[in-house]
Chain A
């Protein structure tokens, strides 16, 4: 039986969506359509765009570096998404407990999120430096191993930069998880305690399942966010060494604001959009298999 529209008229949804629709069409879709058109041109910003059809896309697909960049992008995203989800949830659970001083800890965990990328880049470059950096000095004196030069080693650079970004953003996902954790009624935990459940059992059987809507949200956002790695790469490695940390968005930045090839940058962006769009679509299609709403 079809549910009757009892409390809203058919025009109400549109009323509620007026700001969003205006914003969406004027400030999002217009610039995106324009830049999509630009991806079929060559444009240096100063002189008018010149139509070149699919040439940008052809150049992109025939450039071996592009495939390296693509691989880096996926790898980075994988590490990032897994990292922030696990660490973010871990931190949220920690600071959700009724501990004294938890406000202080909530704040300190959030601090890297607001610390400027420049400072983050500088300090971490120091820590990871080969000659005077504390990490390598520590590893060689205590464990007697010869550590790699993290940011300059083609095998480790990407992992290192991704790790630093996880460190920076874990607090962001922590607060989202925290909001989600508040939806789980404390009564459920009390009942579990009476039944003699261990913390791990409580987590596995109450927290995780009831958190799935939030987890879905976090997962979706983290995927989209994982591709926005321009700032951290710029401050730490500038895409090097030998393109080891070059990702699609970093290439977009280079082509848009350093080489002034807006058309090519556009082509890169829309290939990215295609990829992320497909991933997100699959994500949404699979949603019903694991996300449980409470009611």
Chain B
């Protein structure tokens, strides 16, 4: 009697276990990591839509502040416990692809991505950045760099607004007319232009003058003459023509607030600043965007880079993960997930009326779509943050060197040691 009861219990437990596993096995769980906690609500909505279209699939979202994201995900990579799907940046794509943590998505892309619906040039930009001939990441957004200008200040000075045909001379002339000492105290209150050594401030000038910083064959920092021409032009704006302040004068204020606070008539930085501009400027003045002026050696390219989503090489659910990636970079998205100034890579969103946000500043938002179709240049390499001077290292590297020149040091004193430093870093990654 006892034995049969025992046997019965064992069978019961076993069947519960088996049935339970089947039930659990039915629910596929995808882990998705992203770096913008501000978008958590919108992404959860996207996930809910995806889950309702794909019963039996659950997506677990983890959103982290950008600063923490990379450290945490690298630790995850080291323990092989990567999330199935995660955001990938242009700056790190090369490293992650070449170290073998990303799944090769080439077949999926060739099969599933409709070139009519996506900006394919962004997929190819990712391929180029990875330094391989495969697609390792799917773009979902693009950012580029624009010239922000204060329309009220231009009107006051009787100048016509910047346009895509502007030359450096046009720019300089306008900047001079816009630099004013308004209250007669001997100090300039309104600058024609504001910038510092930051990548988003400096590099558009270089690329639009057919310049480059990195010799891609040798992977060394060897700016060509056009690049140096652009850099010297920028330096002259501060030192010679005095239409832009020394960066240290604006210390204590966040760089992205200088233009919206009305301290400068023109500013060049990433298109993502549109949101902050709207927030800070409100209705205080009218402003617009234009393309960065091309130099004497014209090149109609843009300084921009996509943000991507990638798949882990170790994921067990490749097909469903791909489905999610496609959804999260295309039809699952809505415009409210694009902070103003980020451009969707999914054409139905990018080319929609809603994207233009007519009625809000800048009136020229459609310009971003024109720019998105052009060739994107950038200087990302492995170790980019270290040699360029980014994040915690922004006072060092090329950024720090340019800043010290702009703040008064002599070019000939600072530049050679900066080049040495940059190439020392690059030599570490590219033998």
Q: Is the CB of A45 within 8 A of B396?
A: no
Hey, which chain B residues are within 8 Å of A180, CB to CB? none
With contacts A46-B99, A47-B99, A258-B386 taken as known, whether A130 is within 8 angstroms of B393 at the C-beta atoms is no
Q: Is the CB of A241 within 8 A of B249?
A: no
Hey, which chain A residues are within 8 Å of B77, CB to CB? 45-46
Hey, which chain B residues are within 8 Å of A237, CB to CB? 395
Q: Is the CB of A152 within 8 A of B248?
A: yes
Instruction: Using CB atoms, name the residue of chain B closest to A150.
Output: B251
Q: Is the CB of A240 within 8 A of B395?
A: yes
Q: Is the CB of A46 within 8 A of B251?
A: no
Within the complex, the shortest CB–CB distance from A13 to chain B, in Å, comes to: 39
Hey, which chain B residues are within 8 Å of A169, CB to CB? none
* Contact residues, B90-132 vs A (CB, 8 A): 95-96, 99, 101
With contacts A45-B78, A258-B386 taken as known, whether A239 is within 8 angstroms of B252 at the C-beta atoms is no
Q: Is the CB of B392 within 8 A of A131?
A: no
From B101, B248, B392, B400, name the one whose CB has the most chain A CB atoms within 10 angstroms.
Answer: B392
Instruction: Using CB atoms, name the residue of chain B closest to A238.
Output: B395
CA of A59 to CA of B378, assembled, Å: 30
Cβ of A71 within 8 Å of any chain B Cβ, yes or no, is: no
Cβ of B404 within 8 Å of any chain A Cβ, yes or no, is: yes
Instruction: Using CB atoms, name the residue of chain B closest to A233.
Output: B392
* Contact residues, B381-404 vs A (CB, 8 A): 383, 385-386, 391-396, 400, 403-404
Cβ of B407 within 8 Å of any chain A Cβ, yes or no, is: yes
Q: Is the CB of B386 within 8 A of A132?
A: no
Within the complex, the shortest CB–CB distance from A228 to chain B, in Å, comes to: 16
Cβ of A151 within 8 Å of any chain B Cβ, yes or no, is: yes
CA of A238 to CA of B395, assembled, Å: 6
Interface segment, A101-109, A121-129, A267-275?
A: A121-129
Within the complex, the shortest CB–CB distance from A237 to chain B, in Å, comes to: 7
Q: Is the CB of A241 within 8 A of B400?
A: yes
Cβ of B280 within 8 Å of any chain A Cβ, yes or no, is: no
From A45, A46, A131, name the one whose CB has the most chain B CB atoms within 10 angstroms.
Answer: A46
Q: How many residues of B contact A (CB 8 A)?
A: 29
Q: Is the CB of A258 within 8 A of B251?
A: no
Q: Is the CB of B395 within 8 A of A241?
A: yes
CA of A132 to CA of B71, assembled, Å: 36
Cβ of B75 within 8 Å of any chain A Cβ, yes or no, is: yes
Cβ of B253 within 8 Å of any chain A Cβ, yes or no, is: yes
Instruction: Using CB atoms, name the residue of chain A closest to B101.
Output: A46
* Contact residues, A108-141 vs B (CB, 8 A): 125-126, 128-133
Q: Is the CB of A253 within 8 A of B392?
A: yes
CA of A125 to CA of B251, assembled, Å: 8
CA of A241 to CA of B248, assembled, Å: 10
Hey, which chain A residues are within 8 Å of B74, CB to CB? 44-46, 260
Q: Is the CB of A257 within 8 A of B395?
A: no
Q: Is the CB of B400 within 8 A of A259?
A: no
* Contact residues, A25-77 vs B (CB, 8 A): 44-47
Within the complex, the shortest CB–CB distance from A44 to chain B, in Å, comes to: 8
Hey, which chain B residues are within 8 Å of A212, CB to CB? none
Q: Is the CB of A128 within 8 A of B252?
A: yes
Cβ of B13 within 8 Å of any chain A Cβ, yes or no, is: no
Q: Is the CB of A238 within 8 A of B385?
A: no
Q: Is the CB of A130 within 8 A of B101?
A: no
* Chain A 236-264: CB-based contact to B (< 8 A → 1; otherwise 0): 01111111001000000110011110000
Cβ of B18 within 8 Å of any chain A Cβ, yes or no, is: no
Hey, which chain B residues are within 8 Å of A153, CB to CB? 248
Q: Is the CB of B252 within 8 A of A133?
A: yes
CA of A253 to CA of B392, assembled, Å: 9
Cβ of A176 within 8 Å of any chain B Cβ, yes or no, is: no
Instruction: Using CB atoms, name the residue of chain B closest to A48.
Output: B78
With contacts A129-B251, A129-B252 taken as known, whether A254 is within 8 angstroms of B404 at the C-beta atoms is no
Cβ of B250 within 8 Å of any chain A Cβ, yes or no, is: yes
Q: Is the CB of B251 within 8 A of A257?
A: no
Hey, which chain A residues are within 8 Å of B403, CB to CB? 240-241
Within the complex, the shortest CB–CB distance from B86 to chain A, in Å, comes to: 13
Hey, which chain A residues are within 8 Å of B394, CB to CB? 238, 240
Within the complex, the shortest CB–CB distance from B118 to chain A, in Å, comes to: 29
Q: Is the CB of B386 within 8 A of A259?
A: yes
Q: Is the CB of B407 within 8 A of A45?
A: no
Q: Is the CB of B385 within 8 A of A258?
A: yes
CA of A149 to CA of B247, assembled, Å: 11
Q: Is the CB of B78 within 8 A of A125?
A: no
CA of A257 to CA of B247, assembled, Å: 27
Q: Is the CB of B392 within 8 A of A234?
A: yes
Contact pick for B400, options A131, A133, A242, A258, CB 8 Å: A242
Instruction: Using CB atoms, name the residue of chain B closest to A240.
Output: B395
Instruction: Using CB atoms, name the residue of chain B closest to A255.
Output: B386
Hey, which chain A residues are within 8 Å of B385, CB to CB? 258-259
Q: Is the CB of B393 within 8 A of A259?
A: yes
* Contact residues, A214-246 vs B (CB, 8 A): 234, 237-243, 246
Within the complex, the shortest CB–CB distance from A163 to chain B, in Å, comes to: 16
CA of A47 to CA of B100, assembled, Å: 10
Instruction: Using CB atoms, name the residue of chain B closest to A46.
Output: B77
CA of A44 to CA of B77, assembled, Å: 11
CA of A263 to CA of B90, assembled, Å: 25
With contacts A132-B253, A259-B385 taken as known, whether A46 is within 8 angstroms of B393 at the C-beta atoms is no
Hey, which chain A residues are within 8 Å of B71, CB to CB? 45, 257
Q: Is the CB of B393 within 8 A of A254?
A: yes
With contacts A242-B400, A258-B392 taken as known, whether A132 is within 8 angstroms of B252 at the C-beta atoms is yes
Q: Is the CB of A254 within 8 A of B250?
A: no
CA of A81 to CA of B178, assembled, Å: 49
Hey, which chain A residues are within 8 Å of B78, CB to CB? 45-47
CA of A131 to CA of B248, assembled, Å: 10
Within the complex, the shortest CB–CB distance from A116 to chain B, in Å, comes to: 14
Q: Is the CB of B391 within 8 A of A258?
A: yes
* Contact residues, B288-345 vs A (CB, 8 A): none
Contact pick for A129, options B95, B253, B386, CB 8 Å: B253
10 A-B pairs closest in CB distance: A129-B252, A240-B395, A152-B248, A45-B74, A46-B77, A259-B386, A238-B395, A125-B252, A152-B251, A258-B392
Seed contacts A45-B71, A240-B395; 16 additional CB < 8 Å A-B pairs: A45-B74, A45-B78, A46-B74, A129-B253, A130-B251, A132-B253, A149-B248, A149-B251, A234-B392, A238-B395, A243-B396, A253-B392, A254-B393, A257-B71, A259-B386, A259-B393
Interface residues of B (CB under 8 A from A): 71, 74-75, 77-78, 95-96, 99, 101, 247-253, 383, 385-386, 391-396, 400, 403-404, 407
Task: Give 7 CB contacts A-B under 8 Å.
Answer: A126-B252, A131-B250, A131-B253, A152-B251, A239-B393, A240-B403, A259-B393
